[in-house]
Amino acid sequence: MKIAIINGPNLNMLGIREPDIYGSNSYDDLCSNICSYARKKEIEIIFFQSNGEKEIIDFIQDIYSSVDGIIINPAAFTHYSYALHDAIKSVPTPFIEVHISNIHAREGFRNTSVTASACIGSISGFGEDSYIVALDAIYRHISNNI
């Protein structure tokens, strides 16, 4: 099984940006921890991070047919990118939206996700473990729909 993990703006700054909210691990630490977990399940992971909406949309359009599922942390694009919503909806690959922090317990503008409705599910608030929960969920979803 092959899963792409897409991370949006500022996630490359993990460990530096607001560690009280996002933790002290770097982006490389996050990727390494996900890979360690995925290897146990024999899941191949492809990572992509961009601060640009266009680049994320282009990546979705380029990768969707070569992966079994996609986990996406749209970051700030979560709250206003209808273009990203449409890109997710335009491909048949299952997506799970993930967030490190609980977006519903933060500033009001972060409480709404315009991208979640394009995904099969949304997981937030469990720190880095949000990705692990999403990986388990998408694995089961794909396995049950083969």
CB of 78 closer than 8 Å to CB of 130: no
CB of 71 closer than 8 Å to CB of 134: yes
Contacts of 29 (CB under 8 A, 6+ apart): 14, 15
**Among 64, 85, 99, 131, the one annotated catalytic:** 99
Give the tokens for residue 143: 């396995």
99 assigned to active site: yes
**Among 22, 64, 131, 139, the one annotated catalytic:** 22
C-alpha distance from residue 44 to each of 6, 38, 40, 59, 145 (Å): 14, 7, 10, 17, 19
Contacts of 16 (CB under 8 A, 6+ apart): 26
In the block, residue with structure tokens 């388990």: 136
Active-site residue set: 22, 99
